[in-house]
């Protein structure tokens, strides 16, 4: 039974960085926009420890634990605000179907709109023949839904605690969708111009597989991530040797922003950041995400909160634990890594849930080990140590940067969306997010996603 029957120029699924930047731009150009988000937590602003098990995933490997904020603003409620534009090397390696200069122009334009220093966002340099980029922490961005004041905009309506459940298309053009809220009420929204999916790297393939009957068989395939691993415990001596060695590479020991090296081997990229201590909260967070019982969730969330307070206290006293290197790797595309529907399980909107199948190839493990030891092994480029560091699956953190599941066309035309992010087979469905990336490099994805939304909004305005 339809409750609301409203008409919009654009309907956007997802209020994370992709959806918020898109809605913000379109609304500024006077279009009527609706944002639909399944998040049910609309009061908490940027609470980093309030995440839940991704509600539309039934099963995933133990070492693949995607976080879901369940807040408006998507995972920008949880992120660390580290931004940098994908490097030209990664862009070229992914064979993106347009010029890097075009992306750069949209990135500069967005930085200007948000009053950020673009030089810091696309900083690339050489140091002793190793190329590197550096992220900048743009704390003021925070949860983008709130920092852009999306809910105050007169041209934007928000439907939270809701998901699309049905698409009505006439030929290949979507004219209306039905959305359902968690109370089970169904509404109909009419679409004048376009429907845009900004539901995240896993959310996009999940919802598209549910809604599109004859969906492209590539949707959900080639799931790539950006596995992080903490390698250490390094002593203070080790770390100061590293810092002395690379004064230029790292600003200073107190303010260690993320630095990503372009060390590449057979098209694999590695990023590196000096961190402090192997973080026990990771283990707690992983247990929390995996745990389904209310009591253990409560207990674990208390422990995580206390641990965060403890860390804050230590940092106030300028006490740090042991240091470690945080390395993160790109991943090659593999058709065996995928998200698929699990017909035996349903979520709160009666959508079929998904399972995640994701692993590394033997080749990848060998390359990661080689890259690690090239950096900090016996002949380490950045630090010579006698330790033999090994990439171990059970030590990694993965699932924070799911990509490539609705990938953009590159030279073989084997993507799900064209160069304007339009879903193939439909005239007015578009997709944005890391799901459209043709490959997963080492650069944190969000600024590139926001830049793509800036680019997409210009395209949509001309429809
Ligand atoms: C702990 C953590 C730290 C991170 N740190 C960084 C960092 O420092 N730098 C960086 O670049 N990136 C970082 N990231 C990644 C960053 O959060 C994501 O790249 C970014 O949020 C992706 O934006 P998005 O809008 O594409 O998707 P999301 O932020 O995931 O937003 C998707 C939205 O879609 C909604 N949605 C999903 N399915 C449906 C549905 N069926 N119906 C309606 N709505 C739906 C979700 O509720 C969500 O609000 C981090 C992530 C985590 C978890």
Rounded Cα distance, 108 and 445, in Å: 16
Backbone torsions φ then ψ of 168, nearest 5 degrees: -105, 115
User: Which ligand 1 atom minimizes the distance to the CA of 67?
Assistant: 53
Whether pTM exceeds 0.85: yes
Say if strands 186-197 and 2-13 run parallel, antiparallel, or are unpaired: parallel
How big is the CA angle at 150 (ends 149 and 155), to the nearest 5 degrees? 125
Q: What 3-state DSSP class applies to 109?
A: helix
To which residue do tokens 């998901």 refer? 163
158 lines ligand 1 (CB under 6 A): no
- Given a contact cutoff of 8 angstroms between Cβ atoms, the answer to whether 225 and 440 are in contact is yes
Instruction: Determine if ligand 1 sits within 6 Å of the CB of residue 16.
Output: yes
For the record, the structure tokens of 203 come out as 């959310």
Task: Kindly tell me the sign of the dihedral angle through the C-alpha atoms of 53, 208, 145, 115.
Answer: positive
CB-ligand 1 contact for 39 (6 Å cutoff): yes
Measured in angstroms, how far is the CA atom of residue 74 from the centroid of ligand 1? 5
User: Whole-angstrom Cα distance, residue 190 to residue 10?
Assistant: 9
Q: Is 443 a pocket residue for ligand 1 (Cβ < 6 Å)?
A: no
Running DSSP on this structure, what letter comes out for residue 221? B
Hey, whose CA ends up nearest to atom 5 of ligand 1? 79
Say if ligand 1 is within 6 A of residue 78 CB. yes
CA distances 150 to 73, 190, 322, 366, 454, Å, are: 9, 21, 41, 46, 15
pLDDT, tens digit only, all 463 positions of the chain: 556 689 999 999 999 999 999 999 999 999 999 999 999 998 776 666 677 778 999 999 888 888 899 999 999 999 989 999 999 999 999 999 999 999 999 999 999 999 999 998 998 887 667 777 878 889 899 999 999 999 999 999 999 999 999 998 877 999 999 999 999 999 999 999 999 999 999 999 999 999 997 778 899 999 999 898 887 666 666 666 665 555 545 544 444 456 677 777 888 888 877 765 556 676 777 777 767 677 887 788 788 778 777 777 766 666 655 667 788 899 988 999 999 999 999 999 999 999 999 999 999 999 999 988 888 877 777 777 777 778 888 778 899 899 999 999 987 778 999 999 999 999 999 999 999 999 988 899 999 999 999 999 999 999 9
């Amino acid at each position: 039974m339809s409750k609301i029957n409203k008409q919009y120029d654009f309907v956007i699924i997802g209020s994370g960085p992709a959806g918020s930047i898109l809605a913000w731009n379109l609304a500024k150009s006077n279009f009527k926009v609706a944002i639909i988000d399944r998040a049910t937590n609309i009061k908490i602003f940027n609470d980093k420890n309030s995440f839940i098990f991704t509600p539309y995933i039934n099963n995933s490997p133990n070492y693949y634990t995607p976080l879901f904020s369940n807040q408006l603003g998507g995972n920008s409620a949880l992120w660390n605000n580290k931004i940098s534009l994908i490097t030209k090397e990664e862009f070229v390696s992914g064979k993106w179907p347009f010029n890097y200069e075009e992306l750069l122009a949209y990135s500069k334009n967005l930085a200007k709109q948000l009053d950020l220093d673009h030089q810091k966002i696309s900083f690339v340099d050489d140091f002793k023949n190793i190329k590197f980029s550096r992220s900048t922490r743009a704390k003021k961005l925070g949860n983008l839904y709130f920092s852009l004041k999306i809910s105050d905009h007169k041209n934007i309506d928000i439907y939270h605690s809701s998901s699309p459940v049905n698409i009505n298309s006439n030929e290949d053009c979507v004219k209306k969708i039905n959305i359902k809220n968690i109370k089970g009420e169904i509404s109909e929204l009419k679409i004048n111009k376009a429907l845009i999916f900004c539901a995240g790297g896993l959310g996009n393939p999940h919802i598209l597989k549910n809604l599109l009957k004859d969906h492209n068989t590539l949707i959900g395939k080639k799931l790539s991530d950006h596995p992080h691993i903490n390698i250490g415990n390094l002593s203070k001596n080790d770390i100061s040797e590293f810092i002395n060695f690379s004064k230029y590479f790292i600003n200073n020991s107190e303010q260690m922003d993320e630095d990503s090296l372009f060390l590449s081997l057979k098209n694999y990229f590695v990023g590196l950041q000096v961190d402090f201590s192997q973080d026990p909260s990771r283990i707690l967070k992983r247990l929390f995400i995996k745990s389904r019982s209310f009591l253990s969730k409560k207990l674990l969330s208390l422990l995580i909160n206390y641990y965060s307070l403890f860390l804050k206290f230590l940092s106030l006293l300028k006490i740090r634990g042991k240091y470690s290197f945080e390395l993160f790797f790109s991943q090659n595309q593999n058709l065996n890594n995928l998200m698929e529907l699990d017909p035996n399980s349903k979520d709160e909107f009666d959508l079929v849930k998904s399972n995640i199948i994701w692993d590394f190839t033997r080749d990848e493990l060998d390359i990661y080990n080689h890259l690690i030891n090239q950096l900090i092994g016996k002949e380490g480029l950045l630090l010579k140590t006698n330790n033999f560091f090994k990439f171990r699956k059970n030590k990694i953190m993965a699932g924070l940067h799911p990509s490539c599941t609705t990938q953009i066309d590159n030279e073989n035309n084997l993507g799900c969306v064209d160069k304007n992010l339009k879903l193939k087979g439909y005239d007015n469905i578009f997709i944005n997010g890391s799901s459209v990336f043709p490959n997963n490099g080492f650069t944190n994805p969000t600024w590139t996603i926001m830049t793509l939304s800036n680019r997409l909004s210009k395209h949509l305005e001309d429809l």
